[in-house]
């Protein structure tokens, strides 16, 4: 079977080989661990693969070819050790004021596009936090802390930095891009979010405010329409819940829509479908090409694996791919954290910056530090 890249007339995506690496993937329903697997170029998508695909088409993926792939039930949540006194310096890239300025400029571009009849409707703009520690970062401890949230899927991938240095990507993502089992496919796109609170009344008010938000519902609808339009040619039946539901991690409320379908061809590899869906408007924008170009011009630094897709596909084509969110690139004593906000014409710069801060909280809590 040809890959999506071949069908579109583009060159197959490539990884940086030769290299041997590792991969872990743990959700409520399954767990995978692969050690010392080779990083591969992917001529087709009918062999067992694990790892991640990058956000940009010209950035290397991190796909591994294990000799055997064993999907098992998770052994249970790991209880993390007590938080140590982690001495760290946090550097925002860009800073809060600069990010808000960039948000305002992108929102103005979207508003002008609407006035002029252009089709630009949404752009997801990300920012980074650099966490600089005094000692090498304990990745195992970070993952153990992230796994305390039962609503996320954790992952760890050995990769190489843009400068070619060994690096690790870890994260705790809540968003299912594509889950395929036989002829059944499932997606749970998330778009529209609000920070959670430890105070029950404040937390419930945030949840209800999110459900009632016209801005967030507009943003969410664009993502759902993209997933439905992309999967429709592959499916003989496709259904979506009529209204968004609330789904929450320990730090953020999201709007989500459950989408289920039946494939015309059950042998279609899950990675083929994930590549077709990627990137959704939840991490890129509408339309994709214009949003991607504006992201590259505004952010200035390639995202790499952030906002890509992470997961696995076995020899039968079954597999699960999650959107690569709530993640950090760890190298020695430094970690680079990523978070983005979806911008539409009604977006308010300060609110969007606060949304990214809420999304950073999961990883910052694992480090035991605060953005401030």
Residue 324 is classified by DSSP as: -
Choice among 45, 102, 122, 352 that is catalytic: 122
Let me know if 219 is a catalytic residue. Answer: no
Q: Please, are residues 205 and 370 in contact by the beta-carbon 8 Å criterion?
A: no
| Beta strands 190-195; 235-240: pairing state | unpaired
Instruction: Quote the CA–CA distance of 79 and 147 in Å, as a whole number.
Output: 8
Let me know if 359 is a catalytic residue. Answer: no
Nearest to 289 by CA among 117, 61, 118: 118
- Residue 164: CB atoms within 10 Å: 8
Choice among 45, 100, 168, 175 that is catalytic: 175
Q: Please, are residues 52 and 34 in contact by the beta-carbon 8 Å criterion?
A: no
- Which residues are catalytic, by number? 122, 175
């Amino acid at each position: 079977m040809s890959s999506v890249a071949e069908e579109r007339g583009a060159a197959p995506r490539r990884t940086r080989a030769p290299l041997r690496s590792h991969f872990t993937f743990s959700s409520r329903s399954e767990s995978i661990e692969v050690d010392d697997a080779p990083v591969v170029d992917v001529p087709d998508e009918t062999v067992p693969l694990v790892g991640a695909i990058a956000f940009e088409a010209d950035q290397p993926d991190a796909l591994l070819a294990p000799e055997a792939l064993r999907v098992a039930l998770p052994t249970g949540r790991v209880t993390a050790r007590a938080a140590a006194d982690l001495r760290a310096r946090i550097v925002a890239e860009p800073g809060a004021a600069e990010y808000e300025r960039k948000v305002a400029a992108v929102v103005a571009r979207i508003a002008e596009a609407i006035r002029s009849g252009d089709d630009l409707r949404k752009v997801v703009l990300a920012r980074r936090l650099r966490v600089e520690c005094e000692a090498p970062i304990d990745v195992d401890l970070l993952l153990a802390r992230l796994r305390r949230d039962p609503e996320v899927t954790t992952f760890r991938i050995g990769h190489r930095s843009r400068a070619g240095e060994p690096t690790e990507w870890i994260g705790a993502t809540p968003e299912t891009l594509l889950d395929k089992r036989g002829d059944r496919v499932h997606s749970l796109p998330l778009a529209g979010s609000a920070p959670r609170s430890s105070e029950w009344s404040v937390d419930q008010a945030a949840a209800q405010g999110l459900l009632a938000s016209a801005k967030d519902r507009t943003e969410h609808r664009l993502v759902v329409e993209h997933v439905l339009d992309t999967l429709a040619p592959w499916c003989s039946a496709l259904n979506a819940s009529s209204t968004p539901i609330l789904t929450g991690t320990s730090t953020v409320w999201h709007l989500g829509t459950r989408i289920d379908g039946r494939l015309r061809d059950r042998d279609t590899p899950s990675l083929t479908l994930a590549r077709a869906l990627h990137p959704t408007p939840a991490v890129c924008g509408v339309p994709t090409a214009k949003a991607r170009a504006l992201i590259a011009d505004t952010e200035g630094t390639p995202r790499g694996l952030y906002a890509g897709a992470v997961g696995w596909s076995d020899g039968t084509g079954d597999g699960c791919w999650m959107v690569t969110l709530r993640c950090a690139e760890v190298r020695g004593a430094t970690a680079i954290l990523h978070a983005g906000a979806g911008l539409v014409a009604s977006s308010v710069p300060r609110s969007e910056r606060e949304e990214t801060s809420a999304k950073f909280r999961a990883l910052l809590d694992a480090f035991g530090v605060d953005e401030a």
